[in-house]
Amino acid sequence: MLGWVQYLVYILSFFFPPIGLVTFWVFSGRDDEELPMIAKWSLLAAFIGVVVWCIVAAFGMAPHRFLWPGMGTWR
């Protein structure tokens, strides 16, 4: 039914998790056969996006000193 738009919803849900949550709330209550499936996958994409963001936030800033020990020592 939605064609390429569903993939756009998944991508937006990954990068902007609130969009995935709203999509889940809106589409999960519909009677169409395809929309609850899109709701489930958009919620999953939002969850994965949050997990990836947390990993990047926790470890993304730390490795630069390991990889380039001279960084931050300007003379």
What is the mean predicted confidence (pLDDT) over 59-68? 62
- Give the pair of three-digit tokens for residue 52: 């990836």
Q: Tell me what pLDDT residue 58 has.
A: 76
Comparing 59 with 31, the larger pLDDT belongs to 31
- Give the pair of three-digit tokens for residue 26: 């809106």
Cα-based distances in Å from 64 to 9, 22, 44, 56 = 33, 36, 30, 12
Residue ranges covered by each domain of the chain: 4-67
- Give the pair of three-digit tokens for residue 10: 């998944």
Comparing 32 with 51, the larger pLDDT belongs to 51
pLDDT tens for each residue of 3-50? 888 899 899 999 999 999 999 999 888 888 888 898 999 999 999 999
Nearest to 42 by CA among 13, 18, 15, 16: 13
CB atoms within 10 A of CB 28: 15
Q: Tell me what pLDDT residue 69 has.
A: 63
